[in-house]
Copies of this chain bind each other. A is one copy, B any other.
Amino acid sequence: MFAFTYKKTGHAQARLGNLVTPHGQVNTPAFIFCATKAAMKGLTVDHMRQAGTQIILSNTYHLLLQPGPQVIEKMGGLQKFTGWRGPMLTDSGGFQIFSLGHGSVASEIKGKRLHHRPKTLLKITEAGARFRSYLNGQEFLLTPESSIQIQRALGADLIVVLDECTPYHVDQSYTARSMELSHRWALRSLQEFNRYAQQGRQQLYGIIQGGIYPNLRRQGCDFVNSQPFFGHAIGGSLGACKSQMQDVVALTTEHLDPKRPIHLLGIGGISDIIAGVEKGIDTFDCVHPTRLARHGGALVRPDHNPNPTREHINLRNSVYSRDDSPLEPDCPCHTCTNYSKAYLHHLLKAQELVGHTLLSLHNVQFMNRLMTAIRHALADHTFAQEKKRWATL
């Protein structure tokens, strides 16, 4: 019920692929949207389908705390619970534990400054990670085995091993020790996964850590290649700037078994996706499209942006208060075919929540249009031209 096939395209390391799951197929390169708490923020599953979405993910950490994996299992699993009957992925829960533990790992991965947040990570041991619920302070221990058990109950097609998500500001020797712990956890995850022989219903991704250190990334690749994972996900810190991120991604994909799908965790910028595709990445995920919408931002192509070096416009800007044009004149989404920038500006100023829905709708459809354009251009050997239509590179 699972398969992954791909072909090289001749454009750098870019490849076109097809990922088959029990809930449907995903044409790659593809973007995986984040339905963090088993819901896309502000959007219904009809919206997601209409926007051409292939696959979404939910976060094990959030669902472990609320409503709990038992509830979702009893309700028939994530796809039945959410009404999204297509392919799904869950993460291991580790990223959020370490993110809340170390401050914001998400910022660090992208090389940004440390944010200060309440720390809920209590202790990392060989056994696993002990943390407090951000909802009610209740203590939890997440182990490689329990992460697999929770993800089994949630029932997504693609699931991920628990790893320690190494922060950016640590040195090579911490990064190495952390990676070795992640590898021991990965073996325990595989063992738990295989105990139930659930390959027919779910498949497991291994994670490559190693921070910005080429020799560690190579060791991480050797490790995952040597184990029977279905797919590989590139995790951890990717460096302090875009060029370092691209170098880390390039050297990692180069060493990974090409027969397995490669996911790049947490990256969703347009130029970052284009660069990732050129390095051989098959799938991406990020909260960016819907988070940006909640802050009043709309993804637009450079030729629709007064500042073509940016990847979005901010509809809160009063320059849009009497602008009767749509976000993008050639976008077929519900938002662009029904509403002006002036109306979206009004909704944001008036704090009407449907403003977030309409911007999210556009941003989701934008990402799907981008990925479709990438696949067509790779097939037609026009990627070098096409990519310039989507980002100032």
Binding site for B on A (CB under 8 A): 37-46, 62, 66-67, 71, 74-76, 81-83, 321-322, 324, 334, 338-340, 342-343, 345-347, 349-350, 352-358, 361
The contact of A321 among B71, B81, B356, B361, by CB within 8 Å, is B71
Would you give the shortest CB distance from A162 to chain B, in whole angstroms?
Answer: 23
Instruction: From known contacts A44-B354, A74-B322, A354-B42, infer whether A66 and B343 are also in contact, taking CB-CB under 8 Å.
Output: no
Complex Cα distance, B259 from A17, in Å, reads 67
Instruction: From known contacts A44-B358, A324-B76, infer whether A346 and B83 are also in contact, taking CB-CB under 8 Å.
Output: no
Complex Cα distance, B318 from A71, in Å, reads 12
**Nearest-neighbor residue (CB-CB) of A339 within chain B:** B83
The contact of A46 among B39, B74, B334, B346, by CB within 8 Å, is B334
B356 touches A353 (CB 8 A): yes
Say how many copies of this protein the assembly contains: 2
The contact of A41 among B62, B345, B354, B358, by CB within 8 Å, is B354
Would you give the shortest CB distance from A141 to chain B, in whole angstroms?
Answer: 23
A75 touches B349 (CB 8 A): no
Complex Cα distance, B71 from A37, in Å, reads 38
Would you give the shortest CB distance from A291 to chain B, in whole angstroms?
Answer: 13
Would you give the shortest CB distance from A206 to chain B, in whole angstroms?
Answer: 30
A340 touches B43 (CB 8 A): no
Complex Cα distance, B41 from A358, in Å, reads 12
Q: Other than the known A42-B354, A83-B339, what 8 A-B pairs have Cβ atoms closer than 8 Å?
A: A38-B350, A39-B350, A62-B350, A67-B345, A67-B349, A76-B324, A82-B343, A357-B357
Instruction: From known contacts A354-B40, A354-B42, A357-B42, infer whether A71 and B342 are also in contact, taking CB-CB under 8 Å.
Output: yes
Would you give the shortest CB distance from A173 to chain B, in whole angstroms?
Answer: 40
Instruction: From known contacts A66-B346, A356-B353, infer whether A334 and B41 are also in contact, taking CB-CB under 8 Å.
Output: no
Would you give the shortest CB distance from A351 to chain B, in whole angstroms?
Answer: 9
Would you give the shortest CB distance from A186 to chain B, in whole angstroms?
Answer: 30
A39 touches B354 (CB 8 A): yes
A352 touches B322 (CB 8 A): no
A353 touches B42 (CB 8 A): yes
Instruction: From known contacts A42-B353, A334-B44, infer whether A343 and B37 are also in contact, taking CB-CB under 8 Å.
Output: no
B354 touches A81 (CB 8 A): no
A43 touches B354 (CB 8 A): yes
